[in-house]
Amino acid sequence: MIQPGATIGILGGGQLGRMIAMAAAQLGYSCHIYAPEEESVAAEVSARFTCAEWDDHAALSAFARDCAVVTYEFENVPVEAVNVIPSQLRAPGTRALEIAQDRLTEKRFVEELGGRPAPFAPVDDETGLADAVAQIGAPGILKTRRDGYDGKGQWRIASAQDAAALQLPGPGLIYEGLVKFEAEFSVILVRGLDGEVRFWDSAQNVHESGILATSSLPAASIAGEQVAEARKLAYRVAEALAYVGVLTLEFFATPDGPVFNEMAPRVHNSGHWTIEGAVTSQFENHVRAILGLPLGDTSTMWPTIQMTNLIGEIEGGINRLLSDTRNHVHLYGKSEARPGRKMGHVTKLG
């Protein structure tokens, strides 16, 4: 157990790091942010900020010396950068990153643990894409194996003709067959240093243009009926990785049971509702877990909850949002609103 007053290092300077830092401060810990971007909304609420590139080993080493533990706020932190951090300081570590950063590796890993992803095939060139479409069928989605998020690095393939006409960006792609689903839902868990695992209730997710729009509780009945099976897979993933902290798996609820979509080895957008809606938020429990503290209660405190992402310009501004007394507004302090950019979220309780 790491006592209050210690410093938590966070790799990445975005809104997830910001909310981790705010939860850490409540428990008496300070945070040191490491990120290559000068504008960091996480650094605004943290004690220290190192702005340096991921390949700056001297800066990473100096950062690590200031920290009692080091975590990360997004899964695209280069593994090589994390490996500069002494292994005893890393939480969750690098294995989860290595898997989550490659969609092909991730799906094969989940299959080995008994999970069922959408049908998939690796693609490196036009011939490989044609073969994948012939094998899996269309429609489907072609994705980069690495780096894509919030709908980026994805191309919808409606037919074999679509595939033949597409100019591939290069090798390192994966083709996935479309899943006919009735609902999307997340399984979010926290695993402590001692191996204890706790789950939050699963929210139903709605995406627009590849970006999460809303997460609502309770989820549709078909999703609720499949949560238990999905949790078993999430538990096996956490155990296989000897994971510490918050881990998220996303699923499609189908007539044949839950289909695995993707995992995120971190706190997750679909868990933002837990700040006001659960006894202990995902951010506080992540902090507790990586510090070796007792985990908090993950029970839901309201009968209905909806978290809505605020993307791009916020229509009506903060006054409109606050005029509904059930709303809890979180703005991330980003200086410029752009289409597709998450500027904050609002959680409506009851």
Q: Output the known binding site for ATP.
A: 103, 143, 148-154, 176-179, 184, 207, 261-262
Q: What is the phi-psi region of residue 91: left when phi exceeds 0, alpha when psi lies from -120 to 50, beta otherwise? A: beta
The DSSP bridge partners found for residue 123 are 173
Asked if 312 and 338 count as a contact pair (C-beta separation under 8 A), the reply is yes
Asked if 10 and 73 count as a contact pair (C-beta separation under 8 A), the reply is yes
CB atoms under 10 Å from CB of 195, counted, come to: 11
> H-type helices in 27-114, by residue range?
57-65, 79-82, 95-100, 103-112
**C-alpha–C-alpha distance, residues 104 and 116, integer Å:** 13
Give the 3-state secondary structure percentages of the chain, helix then strand then coil, rounded to 5: 30, 30, 40
Question: Per the structure block, which two tokens stand in for 163?
Answer: 């595939």
CB atoms under 10 Å from CB of 255, counted, come to: 8
Phi, psi of 296 (to 5 degrees): -90, 165
**C-alpha–C-alpha distance, residues 160 and 133, integer Å:** 6
**C-alpha–C-alpha distance, residues 128 and 117, integer Å:** 20
The DSSP bridge partners found for residue 277 are none
Residues at the annotated binding site?
Answer: 103, 143, 148-154, 176-179, 184, 207, 261-262
